[in-house]
Amino acid sequence: MTDHDGPPAPPPARPANAPPVPPHPLYAPEADDVVWAGRFPVQRVRFRFRKRDGTLSGPLTWELMRRGQGTVILPWDPVSDRIALIEQFRLPALAAGEEPRMTELPARLVEPGEDPAATARRELEEETGLRCSRLEPIGTYMLMHGASDERVHFQLARVALEEGAGTIGGLAAESEETAVVVVTAAEAFAMVAENRIRNAPAALALLWLQVNHARLRAEWTR
């Protein structure tokens, strides 16, 4: 019996979208392995971190999902003061015991090397049929920093809602179906206050607009 017919096979190449965690003075790595190389790779990282007194923590092992960057778009017509929300089926919502047809905002992962604003414009048109005449950054947030590296760029889009109100959108190639639901800004703010919007990115963006509503309406309707 022979042990091998040839030299051992080299280990599989590390996915480009699952690089090692970058160095940092607070981070003391011990192992960083890709344990799942699917659409969203998962790394198992063993490490210690430097505490506030300068000593190292005990060893920790975390699973890290690599999702990269995303964008969320809030379509608002400042003239009529209406907002376009979308509804679409979400399997994780059903798994969590929520209503699977979620009320949310257009959103998409940003392709490597692409400007998040360009992704936002394209996704807005694909999901709603709307085109924006102006984009304003809301902010960049991490939505699940205990498990994923995803950073999400939120954008406010000025639109004329007559273009896409009541339409069905989404990419057929990805089996998407998104229904556009147009409400007044006051109704959207009430939906957040009453917890009728269960989608965190939509709630966060709407709260930001509510805080900045008077200023933006004055600026965008001149």
Binding residue numbers: 107, 123, 127, 176
Largest Cα–Cα distance of the chain, in whole Å? 85
Nearest alpha-carbon partner for 120 in 71, 158, 156: 71
174 labelled catalytic: yes
Which amino acid makes up residue 120? A
The residues facing 215 across adjacent strands are none
As annotated, the binding site for Mg(2+) includes: 107, 123, 127, 176
Choosing from 63, 125, 150, 174, which is the catalytic residue? Answer: 174
Q: Could you give the CA distance from residue 194 to residue 197 in angstroms, rounded to a whole number?
A: 8
Catalytically active residues are 174
